[in-house]
Each structure stands twice: as structure tokens, then as C-alpha cells.
A = this chain, B = another copy of it.
Amino acid sequence: MKAYRTVLGWVEQEITEGRLHIGERLPPERSIAQRLNVSRTSVREAIRVLEAMGMARSGVGSGPDAGTLITADPSTPFTSAMRLHFATSHLPAGDIVQTRLLLEAWAVEHIDAASPFLDSARVLLVAMDDPALEAERFLELDAEFHVALAQAAGNVLISTMMGSLRDAIGQYTLDMISNLSDWGATAARLRSEHHAILGAVLTGNPSEASRLVTAHIEGYYREAGFPSRVG
């Protein structure tokens, strides 16, 4: 086994067995290296991998407080991995869209009416109603609106995957705008569809919300010429 894997295994065991918690610091590199009989370089390599997994943030603080903090950000690895694998074309865009449809339709059917994320969704719609908004900013808010709806369903894994999917194809989605004949008309349609989706959610009509969000996503990708396997 490569030495950095020994370090990774040790960290995972410390977390699993409750000796190391989120928000705490890893012991200094030197002490981990001594304890596991590996080089400090190997410890550093393991820390980089933990950073990539959203499990650590290094270079926190300075002086005696400097170190590596244990964190829990499951979106980090999903987003990076999806972006990288999408880049190789081994993860087809159509599969990503299909997955997004599945997760979002499920989410709007399972929304917790008391979730504060519904307030965020409402605020985002108001921001998107600004007619002076540029396309790039509109699409950012649009992505946040969809992620807020997913968060309101209360499943950490599903909302994390949703956010990562959106991030992974974000640049792609932006590039597609040039395929649209009239961005202003598209934006107006997206606005009214968003209001209808949130309306169905707020009036307690989950199956209508699910139908609307599916039509909304499929319609946009079709119009923009996304390579879809939908339908």
C-alpha cells in the first residue's frame, strides 16, 4: 500500500471510531508521520486528497493554531469529479440531464412546507424578475433557485448531488445561450415557469409541481439544443 493511503485509512478510522470530529484539527503533520512511520510528504499528499473530498481545509490560522481542519462538505468531491468526468466525455451530457430531471421531480414532490429554503427560492425569483439582469447572472440565480427547491426537500445527499450536477454543466449551459434565437423571450418564459413551479409547491400541489419542473427543464434543454436522452 502506498504510504499516503495508510494516512487516509488512519484518518477515516479516527473519524469512524469517534476520536476525530468535524471542526477539530488534525494533529500536526510531523506527529502523524511519526505515529504511522511514513514521511511528512505522504501525510501532505493524504491531506490534499482529504481536501479534494471536502473532508479537510488546510492552512487554517497561523502560528500555533495553524493546521488542517476536519470539515464536512460533501459537495466538493461530487462537483469536482463530475466536472472532470464530464470533460472526458465518459459521462454523457444526456445522462446528467436525465439524472437532474429524476432528482428535481422527486424533490418538488417531497418539499417540507416549513423549510426556510422556500423563502430563499422566493427571494431568488424576485431577483430574477429584474429585466436588466444579464444572461450569465440570470442563469446563476436560476441554478440557485433549483438547488433551493431541492434543499427544501430535506435530503442532504439528493440536494448535494443536484447542486453538483448544476455546477458541473454550468459552463456548458451558459455556452448554450448562443443557440437561442431570442434570449429575452426565453428569459421571460423561464420566469413565468419558475413562478408557476413555486406556486404549485406553496399551494400544496406536489404532483403538479413535479410535472411543471419536468416540462420546464426538458423545454429549456430542447430549445437550447442540449444533447438530451430525455423522453
Contacts and interface: CB of A to CB of B under 8 A. Distances in A.
Interface string A151-175: 0000111100100000000000000
Contacts of A84: 12, 15, 53, 55
B87 A15 contact: yes
Interface stretch (A98-106, A180-188, A194-202): A98-106
Given A15-B88, A87-B15, A95 B54 contact: no
Contact of A74 (B48, B54, B55, B90): B90
Contacts of A156: 90-92, 95
B72 A88 contact: yes
A87 to B, nearest CB: 4
Describe A's contact surface by its main secondary structure. helix
A141 interface: no
Contact of A85 (B72, B83, B98): B72
B53 A95 contact: no
B77 A77 contact: yes
A33 interface: no
Interface residues of A, number: 48
Contacts of A53: 52, 77, 80-81, 84
A16 interface: yes
A52 B54 contact: no
A138 interface: no
16 contacts: A12-B83, A12-B84, A15-B84, A15-B88, A45-B48, A49-B51, A52-B53, A52-B77, A53-B84, A70-B88, A74-B81, A95-B156, A96-B157, A99-B157, A155-B229, A161-B161
Interface of A: 2, 4, 12, 15-16, 21-22, 41, 44-46, 48-49, 51-55, 59, 70, 72, 74, 77-78, 80-85, 87-88, 90-92, 95-96, 98-99, 102-103, 106, 155-158, 161, 229
Ranked nearest first, the 4 interchain pairs of A and B with the lowest CB-CB distance are A77-B81, A72-B90, A45-B48, A49-B52
